[in-house]
Amino acid sequence: MAGHIFDLSGKVALVTGSGSGIGQQTAHTLAGLGAQVFATDINHEGAAATAAAVGGTATALGHDVTAPEDWARVVARVQDRAGRLDILVNNAGIMVNRPFLETTLAEYRHQQAVNVESVFLGMQAALPLMLMTASTHNVSPSIINISSVYGQVAGATFSAYSASKGAVRLLSKAVAYEFARTGVRVNSIHPGPTATNLGAGWEPPRDAAGNPLSPEEAAAVWLNLIPNGRFGMPTDIAAAIAFLASDASAYMTGSELTIDGGYTAV
């Protein structure tokens, strides 16, 4: 969208986990601001539906973010089709929501693989193309890693998830520091309770007898913990991603944006 403060015209974006939720909305938002979007997801049908809805130059790719060979294939496809990469949104993730003593090692490892190793692999795969983009086009490419408020504060029954999202937070800062003089920026975003399919995995509160509350009762409990009184929406998170993707945030790297309606403020 030429002339918009977050104008992304001419830029190329790769968004993982774009078959639903925050990733899907991000693909729509970035494309609406002028970016050429590559929408990836392990659910290829979901990514294809997103790309079809976005229209224009959007491309859908099946993508297992835990597989190095998939990252190599996806980045090669971006380079072949677009010749550059300005924006990488590492959004794909899962949520293990289980009491600590009931969490298996296999579950813990799978949580780390999807939420942390994918970010590590994605940045390693994409950085050579992003560095080339920075030097060739005199631009400041942006890596945006999606963490969580549970990467900043603890949550009961979220030990594996919190460990993964805390790792994303500091991995982002370390890579931002290392590449700060190259033109490539790295920042993280920390959503609070958000109305997505993944957000539905949040542990339902229980009553005094230990029985799970109804969805309506559980929603009321969660809302009581959010100072502004509503759940986040994918559009809230996508707007922040658009800011970090744009030149409006050119002086930001190694930063973390918390978007949680005040959840971590008290």
Domain boundaries, the chain: 12-196+232-265
Share above pLDDT 70 across residues of the chain, in percent, rounded to a whole number:
94
Confidence of residue 203 (pLDDT cuts 50, 70, 90): low
Q: Identify which of 138, 41, 162, 141 has the alpha carbon closest to the alpha carbon of residue 91.
A: 41
pLDDT of 195 strictly over 70:
yes
Tens digits of residue pLDDT in 118-157: 999 999 999 999 999 999 999 999 999 999 999 999 888 8
Q: Which of 97-106, 166-175, 249-258 has the lowest mean pLDDT?
A: 97-106
This prediction's pTM:
0.93
Distance CA 124, CA 144 (A): 14
Q: How many CB atoms lie within 10 A of CB 100?
A: 11
pLDDT of 77 strictly over 90:
yes
Whole-number pLDDT of residue 199 = 53
Distance CA 64, CA 98 (A): 24
> Half-sphere exposure (CA, 13 Å, Cβ side) for 24?
19
Tens digits of residue pLDDT in 3-37: 678 999 999 999 999 999 999 999 999 999 999 99
For the chain, report the end-to-end CA distance as a whole number of angstroms. 38
Which residues 6+ apart lie within 8 Å of 254 measured at CB? 172, 173, 176, 177, 180, 186, 187
Whole-number pLDDT of residue 8 = 97
Residue 197, SS3 per DSSP: coil
CB 105 within 8 A of CB 98: no
Backbone φ and ψ for 12, nearest 5 degrees, come out as: -120, 130
Whole-number pLDDT of residue 224 = 87
Task: Put residue 152 in one of left, alpha, beta given phi > 0 → left and psi -120 to 50 → alpha.
Answer: alpha
Tens digits of residue pLDDT in 33-71: 999 999 999 999 999 999 999 999 999 999 999 999 999
Residue 176 in tokens: 């931002």
Whole-number pLDDT of residue 207 = 64
Residue 81 in tokens: 């089709």
Catalytic residue annotation: 161
Q: What is the CATH number of domain 12-196+232-265?
A: 3.40.50.720
pLDDT of 206 strictly over 80:
no
Task: Put residue 3 in one of left, alpha, beta given phi > 0 → left and psi -120 to 50 → alpha.
Answer: left
